[in-house]
Structure 1
Amino acid sequence: MKNTLAKVAFGLGMATVLVGCGAEETTKDSFDQIKEEGTLVVGLDDTFAPMGFRDSNGDIVGFDVDLANEVAEKLDVEVEFQPIDWALKETELKSGNIDVIWNGYTITEERKKQVDFSSPYLENSQIIIVLEDSEIQTKEDLSGKVVSAQQSSSAVEAINADESNIVEEFADQDVVLYPSNNDVFNDLASGRSEAIVVDETLGRYYMKQNKEISYRVLEDNFGEEEYAVGMRKEDDKLTEAIDNALDEMKADGTFDEIYAKWFAE
């Protein structure tokens, strides 16, 4: 399986035509161009362990990285991992700077308005984490507390979608937002936040890697969800090709091998 380094790639995956002083996107499916160019550009947040992140050598690794490498091999193309501002992920996709969003990308109704999703490949939930000695025991105990999450993340969407409108009970009636989940965890460890909401896959991996800090996960959460790959709405052929490759991986055992590597416990 290839282990590629991240590098910048611009303009792949979507043809554009100039209109006056601006640019207008076409509705051309980019799969044929990806095959012709021989490169699939994957947009990701390179701090989102264990899905896609940098190891001690600075290489981009992770569960989704291994999946993407294997899918690219089945499509007979190279893969390039392009770190992006997660808050601008859909903009990067629509502009053609990346071909897919693949990094613990949760299916939500709001995102369905902007992108097409592959078939879901992993289940997840939005968990609430506090420090071990915190007085917080339930979701209701978040009332009046400082709660943080990553900006433009599905955690924020899940909090805002909660039927109890609990966000209105938080300190300042809002969620404190940070660019990365590392910042979110650092905020909790420092005591600036009293609780954080993160993807369970990331949260449990992070806690395992930072055992010197005593965290606790509440039994309550902000809902179950699923991960999938995000494509432009016109990229039906690419969506089908990625779905077929993932199905092949599940059938031949490759998916299970990669899963065991990152989520053995």
Structure 2
Amino acid sequence: MLRSHRTNGLLGVLTAGAVAVALAGCSPQADDPPVDPPTADACEPQRLETVVPGTLTVGTDQPAYPPWFVDDAPENGSGFEGAVAYAVANQLGYEPDKVAWVRVPFATAIAPGPKEFDVDINQFSITEERRAAVDFSSPYYDVTQAVIALEGTPAAAATTLAELREVKLGAQVGTTSYRAITEVIAPTAEPAVFNNNDDAKAALRNGTIDALVLDLPTAFYVTAAEIDDATIVGQLAQPSGQPEQFGLVLDKGSSLTACVSAAVDELRGNGTLDSLQAEWLADVAGAPVLS
């Protein structure tokens, strides 16, 4: 459900003490650069330098997949990321009718250069390599990667990383799913890359690849609702021991970054992110960690 009532929480999170608490609670990566907290009035919609004055323009890819979005319609506010986007907008003071959506391919959103959006939400993992080209908000979700395969295949029977090294693996290009293949599994054969997850799923169905790496919530959705004979083989450990986290993407050096991060921090601190996760990602349960 879209929420049009703005809370007063952002004003509170902008005080020095509250900012320290909020930042401590959001598990930022250890090498996150310090960001000076914005003043309260700097985050009012009339003061924010958005692409369209008075409107928050949010980008995401097309198609937009469950459980992150529902019916490929981000404007309905359903799905975890759809709901998070409207919660952030609400925290900043934007009514639902002042939120506009644009479709931006995943790779384009994180490439250097001017953006047609104010923020983009599309399961972007925060990495130092990407930080060279774009800004990230504070993280709104901690995630792990998972491997799926068709039931009855050698890949589905794998219980160790060593067994997965011998199968043909695939992932969407430019994602941390691909990085997890190369850094955690380290297969003997070059992994296949795909422009989007639809192409990757088709390759799994037709046998072009033996197993597909996706973030864990997407893996649960694909195996439960999209590919009947697919199963989750297991999840992958974090390469560095630091949790992989999703953040909203902004233009490099955006004047909005501090305000958007303050909004995300408040949503984490007041329990909104946990509530949205419980609502939209409730089916994501434990899966064995492969080693």
- Distance in 2, Cα, partners of 1:69 & 1:106: 20
Structure 1 residue 182 corresponds to structure 2 residue 201 = no
Q: CA deviation at 1:53?
A: 5.1
Q: CA deviation at 1:101?
A: 2.3
Change (3 A) 1:127 1:114: same
3-state secondary structure, aligned to 1:121: strand
Identity of aligned residues (%): 28
Structure 1 residue 84 corresponds to structure 2 residue 104 = yes
Taking only aligned residues, the RMSD between alpha carbons, in angstroms, comes to 2.9
> Residues 32-56 of structure 1: CA distance to partner in whole angstroms, max 9, x if unpaired?
3229711222221233322235359
Alignment-derived partner of residue 111 in structure 1: 130
Change (3 A) 1:60 1:152: farther
Structure 1 residue 229 corresponds to structure 2 residue 245 = no
3-state secondary structure, aligned to 1:33: coil
In terms of fraction of residues, the more strand-rich structure is 1
Kept in 2: contact 1:125–1:225 (CA 8 A): yes
The answer for unaligned runs of 5 or more in structure 2 is 4-44, 284-291
Aligned length: 231
- Distance in 2, Cα, partners of 1:220 & 1:158: 8
- Distance in 2, Cα, partners of 1:216 & 1:35: 41
**Aligned equivalent of 2:225, options 189, 209, 234:** 209
3-state secondary structure, aligned to 1:231: strand
Change (3 A) 1:188 1:222: farther
Kept in 1: contact 2:219–2:232 (CA 8 A): no
- Distance in 2, Cα, partners of 1:57 & 1:86: 15
- Distance in 2, Cα, partners of 1:225 & 1:62: 20
Q: CA deviation at 1:114?
A: 1.4
Structure 1 residue 159 corresponds to structure 2 residue 175 = no
Structure 1 residue 49 corresponds to structure 2 residue 69 = no
Change (3 A) 1:218 1:248: closer
The answer for unaligned runs of 5 or more in structure 1 is 4-29
Kept in 2: contact 1:89–1:101 (CA 8 A): yes
- Distance in 2, Cα, partners of 1:184 & 1:35: 33
Q: TM-score, normalised to structure 2's length?
A: 0.69
Change (3 A) 1:32 1:57: closer
**Aligned equivalent of 2:266, options 244, 248, 251:** 248
3-state secondary structure, aligned to 1:110: helix
- Distance in 1, Cα, partners of 2:266 & 2:146: 31
> Residues 208-257 of structure 1: CA distance to partner in whole angstroms, max 9, x if unpaired?
2236224132354564511111222312x412211222233234333233
- Distance in 2, Cα, partners of 1:190 & 1:36: 44
Kept in 1: contact 2:74–2:82 (CA 8 A): no
Alignment-derived partner of residue 167 in structure 2: 145
